[in-house]
């Protein structure tokens, strides 16, 4: 039953995202279109934002609606252009430490 619930939520998130992409949809209109409550839509929008979708609310002449911002275009760079950091890591080998074994009872 949990699996079916997860699939239902995922399907709802996809539907909410599709309506936001279409534009001109507010929280109440999305709720009405999908047959869910306004708080459910708000939770869905929050979850989509947490997943990295850049959703914002925008005031229009007829009221508020959600807008999905397009991701910024990034320049592609080859891996050879990137600097390689150097990190000094202390040795974790216990045999390389300066412990006097006679202090530990070893002869």
Residues 22, 27: Cα–Cα separation, whole Å: 14
| Per-residue confidence band for 44, with pLDDT thresholds at 50, 70 and 90 | very high
Whole-number pLDDT of residue 95: 54
CB atoms within 10 A of CB 32: 13
Q: What mean pLDDT is predicted for residues 7-14? A: 92
Domain segments of the chain as ranges: 2-68
More confident residue, 6 or 43: 43
pLDDT in tens, 45-59: 999 999 999 999 888
Whole-number pLDDT of residue 41: 95
Q: Does domain 2-68 have CATH number 1.10.10.10?
A: yes
User: If you write DSSP's letter for every residue of the chain in order, what string do you get?
Assistant: -HHHHHHHHHHHHHHHHHHHHH----HHHHHHHHT--HHHHHHHHHHHHHTT--EEEEEETTEEEEEEPPPPP-----GGGS-----------GGGS---GGGGT--
């Amino acid at each position: 039953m949990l699996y079916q619930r997860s699939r239902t939520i995922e399907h709802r998130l996809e539907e909410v995202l599709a309506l936001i992409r279409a534009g001109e949809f507010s929280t109440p209109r999305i709720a009405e279109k999908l047959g869910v409550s306004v708080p459910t839509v708000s939770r869905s929008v929050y979850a989509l934002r947490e997943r990295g979708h850049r959703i914002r609310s925008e005031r229009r002449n007829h009221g508020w609606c959600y807008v999905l911002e397009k991701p910024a275009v990034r320049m592609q760079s080859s891996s050879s252009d990137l600097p390689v950091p150097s990190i000094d890591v202390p040795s974790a080998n216990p045999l390389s430490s300066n412990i006097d074994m006679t202090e530990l009872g070893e002869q």
